[in-house]
Amino acid sequence: MLKIDAHQHFWVFDPIRDQWINEDMSILQDDFMPEHLQPILAHYGFDGTVVVQSSELPKENYFQLQNAEEHQFIKAVVGWVDLRDEDITEQLEEYSRYEKLKGFRTILQGDEDRSLMLRPAFKRGISQLKRFGFTYDILVLPDQLKYALALVAAFPDQPFVLNHIGKPNIRNKDINEWRTDIKALATHENVYCKVSGMVTEADNRNWKYEDFKPYLDVIFESFASNRVIYGSDWPVCRLAATFGQVVNILDSYTATFSKHERDLFWGGNAVDFYNIKVPV
């Protein structure tokens, strides 16, 4: 089974386009490209990655597809498309020509309309994804989990994956409402969960392994072993941790799992969800 980092990003830093990378995130005000990640992946025994969009521009898809064409370790691309466009079906048909383009993501967490995902035009776009074999990555904050629940319930045949365990406020140990919403979301079998992005939701400078365990317990109990997927969130994770530290948190947590459970978490579930071709 391949060992897959199912959530990472590449960009050539643009201070205008990438305004979300503010001065507090100066460590990210740089270029992060495949050649920077490849030796890190090799060191930690990863066979491949899923690169996820970081910009809501059509050219983002072609930028990441070019990276994937040039670097075989990039096994899948999660791109961006405006699901509300009237010609969304035609756009998806065009994108379906690219074998490594597996799905799409919208930066819902930053939208003023917190329930954008439930607007008729957005849902119309979602309704077209499965026809072309595309997945959808859900990027939301905890206040939007109830809307995400309504979305996944409306499309029971559409594969969804929650990014960054729903971004709970680990820093302040907020867990109760998040836990309730996660358990409800996990009852829908078409929803997977990426165990990623946790370190940047904790105290960036003073986190410890014990901070994450209650949240990991909820995720693994709710989604079980066949719907949890590992992701580093590199290079964003560098705001709080190294690639290796992120790996070690999950290595420690899954240490008592069976080999089958570990194989699923570290790669098998990503292969299944994104329909990644495994070499024979």
Q: Are 44 and 244 in contact (CB under 8 A)?
A: yes
102 domain residue, yes or no: yes
235 domain residue, yes or no: yes
Number of domains in the chain: 1
192 domain residue, yes or no: yes
Q: What is the mean pLDDT of residues 272-278?
A: 94
Q: What is the mean pLDDT of residues 180-203?
A: 98
Domain extent at residue 126: 4-274
Q: What is the mean pLDDT of residues 150-160?
A: 98
280 domain residue, yes or no: no
Q: Residue 208 is which amino acid?
A: K
pLDDT per residue over 79-122, tens digit each?
999 999 999 999 999 999 999 999 999 999 999 999 999 999 99
- CATH number assigned to the domain comprising residue 183: 3.20.20.140
219 domain residue, yes or no: yes
- How is the beta sheet containing 74-79 ordered, strand by strand? 4-8, 48-52, 74-79, 101-106, 135-138, 160-162, 191-195, 228-230
Residue 280 confidence (pLDDT): 54
pLDDT per residue over 4-53, tens digit each?
999 999 999 998 888 888 888 899 999 999 999 999 999 999 999 999 99
Q: What is the mean pLDDT of residues 139-160?
A: 98
Residue 139 confidence (pLDDT): 98
pLDDT per residue over 53-67, tens digit each?
999 999 999 999 999
228 domain residue, yes or no: yes
How far apart CA 280 and CA 276 sit, in angstroms, is 12
155 domain residue, yes or no: yes
Nearest alpha-carbon partner for 237 in 268, 207, 276, 269: 207
Q: Is the pLDDT of residue 228 over 90?
A: yes
Backbone torsion region of residue 279, taken as left when φ is above 0, otherwise alpha when ψ lies between -120 and 50, otherwise beta: beta
Residue 151 confidence (pLDDT): 98
Return the bridge partners of 50, or none: 76
